[in-house]
């Protein structure tokens, strides 16, 4: 993919996170930390999590495709009902067992590698 998201200002950080999330292909997942690293804020994985939580108020942001660095659905409690995060992933062909993405490394989409 040739599209590049550039971090504008701290004021637009959530928008930048949402723009990256929109680029995650169906059937793939990424992590909060991978998005933070791509945006040049390597230590801001938690802030990416806040941005993903805010994504539920907007349309067309696939927040269900963003998991923690181990492939765990740590953000599921922000979905209503919480099981809908897993259901959305499974609808896209991503298998989840005990709140963890199966074959996480195979399913992992790294924006730093894909958006160059």
Residues whose CB falls within 8 Å of the CB of residue 77, separated by 6 or more in sequence, listed in order: none
Segment holding 97, helix H or strand E: strand 96-97
Could you say which residues of the chain have pLDDT below 70? Answer: 1-11
How far is it, in rounded angstroms, from Cα 114 to Cα 1? 6
Could you tell me the two tokens for 17? 């996170």
Q: pTM, whole model, 2 decimals?
A: 0.88
31-59 per-position pLDDT tens digit: 999 999 999 998 999 999 999 998 877 78
């Amino acid at each position: 993919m040739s599209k590049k998201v550039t971090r504008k200002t701290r004021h637009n950080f959530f928008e930048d996170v949402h723009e990256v999330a929109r680029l995650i292909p169906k059937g793939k997942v990424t992590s909060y930390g991978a998005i933070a690293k791509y945006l040049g804020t390597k230590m801001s994985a938690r802030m990416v999590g806040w941005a993903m939580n805010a994504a539920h108020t907007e349309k067309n942001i696939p927040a269900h495709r963003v998991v923690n660095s181990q492939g765990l659905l740590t953000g599921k409690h922000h979905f209503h009902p919480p099981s809908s995060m897993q259901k959305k992933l499974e609808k896209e062909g991503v298998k989840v067992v005990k709140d963890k993405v199966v074959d996480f490394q195979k399913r992992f989409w790294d924006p730093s590698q894909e958006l160059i």
